[in-house]
Each structure stands twice: as C-alpha cells, then as structure tokens.
C-alpha cells in the first residue's frame, strides 16, 4: 500500500483507497482499508458515546426525534423529515406542528389542498415542492401501502422527495429497525474525528455500515446531530470546550474556538 497523506476510512467497493499519515499500520476490515486514526476512534467509541449521551442532555432534542412514541409516529417522522431538508430545526418544528394540527394521518392529509399545506409549512425551504411531494406521498401510501408507511429502506426510497436520510430516520426512529441516518452533521463529524474520509453523506453511510458496531447504528444520528448543532458546528467548532477533543483528529478543521 503506497503511503498517502490522508486520514480515516475511504470508499467501499473492494478498492479501498484511503489511509492515514501513520500508514505503517493499516488494517483491512471487510473490503475497506482502515487506518490507525479510525482504529483509535473505534477503540474509544464506547467512551465517546458515553460522553455524547451525557452532553446531549444539555440540549434540545431535534424535532424529528420528538415524535417517537406518539400516535402515527412513522408518518410524522416521515413528513417532518421531508420538511426538515435545508431548513433550521426551529422552523421545521413550528411547521410540523402547524401541519399535524390540520392532519396527522395520510388519509386526512391527502384531503388538504396544496395552498393549505404551503401556508401551514411556510417558511420551510422549498415549501412549494415539499407541499406537492407531501400530497404525492400521502396518495402513494394509500394506493400502494394501504395507508401504512413502509418499514424498509428500499421501498421508502421510492416515495417522492424521500432520500436516504429520510428513509433511514423512518426505519430507525419510526420502526426501531437497523439503519444509519447520515445527514450533514454525521458526515462532517465522522470526518473530523478521522473515523471516515469521505466526500458525501451517502459515501459516509456506506462506510459506517461496514465499520460501525451495530449497537451504535440507531443512536449515532441522534447524538451527532445534537452535538453538531451545538458544539461541533460547521464553521469554527468549539474544540476548546469539547469533551471528546482527545479522541478527535480534527481533520479539515481550519479554525476553532
Ligand atoms: S474536537 Fe472540535 S472538531 Fe473534534 S469533535 Fe470536538 S468540537 Fe468537533
């Protein structure tokens, strides 16, 4: 393996291409070459998760997670995640509650008009498109799934406006089935730690599915989203206050506080 000046775990597909500075000690996991930076993060993952769990209590739960355990939870998680794309959590929360006050089942929501949905969800990003997608989703849930939200990733991905992030959240939070939801926070923080070295959230998900112990799959998103919203923020993270600082490679972090 040639020496490369990279950290983390690279793409899948049998042609693992990523290693780290300390490439004298590379380890093969499945069809991935994993470097010592990632090995270190994996070794200390139980401690990291313990710290993240304790820290998460200080902050508000992301809106989508608040629907767990409620009536029609998979449907609410599906619709609120669709609303959350490119939208701040507070705006998503207010829009979700306005919409669910009008209708909290696919059957009832399918009777709403597009302008009514748009008015309820405004000002979430792309609210015109999202209103149309929500109506299409409700129609599809009726015509193909007897009004029930599917519980498997591949079927969920056939719904309008539903990508891997949304589908994974429905599977994990709505049905408590295994999945890894990788959004912008999970993607960014996994790369900063040196656990992965990837370019897109989808690529990160595929690598995490190979190296992350299954017991952490469902909670990984919950913990990293809240950490990414409050401390490991996109620009200039608060590294000086971070309790997992010693485990973190700070890859691609150019300025911090
Ligand atoms: S040390 Fe900095 S970059 Fe690393 S997890 Fe903490 S806040 Fe994020």
DSSP 9: B
- Has residue 186 got a pLDDT over 70? yes
Residue 129 lies in a domain: yes
Please give the pLDDT value at position 13.
41
Whether 82 and 162 map to the same domain: the answer is yes
Look at residue 60 and give its three-state secondary structure: coil
Whether 69 and 170 map to the same domain: the answer is yes
Q: Which residues line ligand 1 (CB under 6 A)?
A: 189, 192, 231-232, 237-239, 242, 244-245, 248, 250, 253, 256
Whether 157 and 228 map to the same domain: the answer is no
Number of domains observed in the structure of the chain: 2
Whether 126 and 225 map to the same domain: the answer is no
Distances (CA, A) of 133 to 4, 26, 82, 129, 139: 44, 45, 9, 6, 10
Q: Which residues contact 38 (CB under 8 A, 6 or more apart)?
A: 7, 8, 9, 20, 194, 195, 196, 211
Q: Which residues contact 120 (CB under 8 A, 6 or more apart)?
A: 95, 98, 99, 102
Whether 200 and 157 map to the same domain: the answer is no
Whether 81 and 160 map to the same domain: the answer is yes
SS3 per residue for 194-227? CCCCCCCHHHHHHHHHHHCCHHHHHHHHHHHHHH
* pLDDT tens, residue by residue, 89-126: 899 999 999 999 999 999 999 999 999 999 999 999 99
Please give the pLDDT value at position 5.
41
CA of 52 from ligand 1 middle (Å) equals 12
* pLDDT tens, residue by residue, 25-65: 455 555 667 788 899 999 999 999 999 999 999 998 888 88
Residue 38 lies in a domain: yes
Chain centroid to CA 197:
17
pLDDT tier for residue 1 given thresholds of 50, 70 and 90: very low
Q: Which residues contact 257 (CB under 8 A, 6 or more apart)?
A: 236, 237, 238, 239, 240, 241
Percent over 90 (pLDDT), the chain: 76
* pLDDT tens, residue by residue, 8-23: 555 444 344 443 444 4
Question: Candidates 40, 242, 246: which one to mutate for ligand 1, based on the most atoms within 8 Å of Cβ?
Answer: 242
Whether 186 and 114 map to the same domain: the answer is no
Please give the pLDDT value at position 12.
40
- Has residue 224 got a pLDDT over 80? yes
Q: Which residues contact 129 (CB under 8 A, 6 or more apart)?
A: 161
Query: Residue 190 belongs to a domain with what CATH number?
Result: 1.10.1670.10
Whether 151 and 80 map to the same domain: the answer is yes
Q: Which residues contact 135 (CB under 8 A, 6 or more apart)?
A: 109, 110, 112, 114, 117
Question: Candidates 48, 227, 245: which one to mutate for ligand 1, based on the most atoms within 8 Å of Cβ?
Answer: 245
């Amino acid at each position: 393996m040639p020496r490369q000046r990279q950290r983390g775990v690279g793409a899948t597909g049998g042609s693992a291409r990523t290693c780290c500075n300390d490439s004298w000690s590379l380890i093969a996991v499945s069809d991935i070459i994993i470097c010592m930076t990632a090995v270190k993060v994996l070794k200390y993952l139980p401690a990291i998760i313990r710290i993240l769990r304790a820290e998460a209590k200080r902050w508000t739960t992301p809106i989508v997670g608040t629907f767990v355990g409620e009536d029609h939870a998979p449907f609410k998680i599906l619709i609120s995640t669709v609303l959350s794309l490119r939208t701040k959590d507070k705006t998503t929360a207010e829009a979700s509650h306005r919409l669910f006050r009008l209708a909290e089942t696919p059957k009832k929501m399918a009777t709403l008009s597009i302008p009514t949905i748009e008015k309820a969800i405004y000002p979430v990003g792309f609210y015109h498109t999202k209103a149309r997608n929500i109506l299409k989703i409700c129609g599809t849930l009726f015509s193909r799934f007897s009004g029930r939200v599917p519980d498997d990733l591949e079927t969920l991905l056939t719904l309008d406006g539903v990508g891997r992030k949304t589908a994974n959240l429905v599977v994990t939070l709505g049905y408590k089935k295994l999945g890894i939801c990788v959004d912008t926070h999970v993607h960014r923080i996994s790369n900063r730690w040196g656990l992965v070295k990837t370019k897109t959230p989808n690529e990160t998900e595929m690598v995490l599915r190979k190296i992350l112990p299954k017991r952490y799959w469902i909670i990984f998103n919950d913990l990293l989203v809240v950490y990414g919203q409050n401390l490991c923020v996109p620009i200039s993270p608060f590294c000086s206050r971070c309790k997992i600082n010693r485990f973190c490679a700070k890859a691609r972090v150019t300025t911090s506080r």
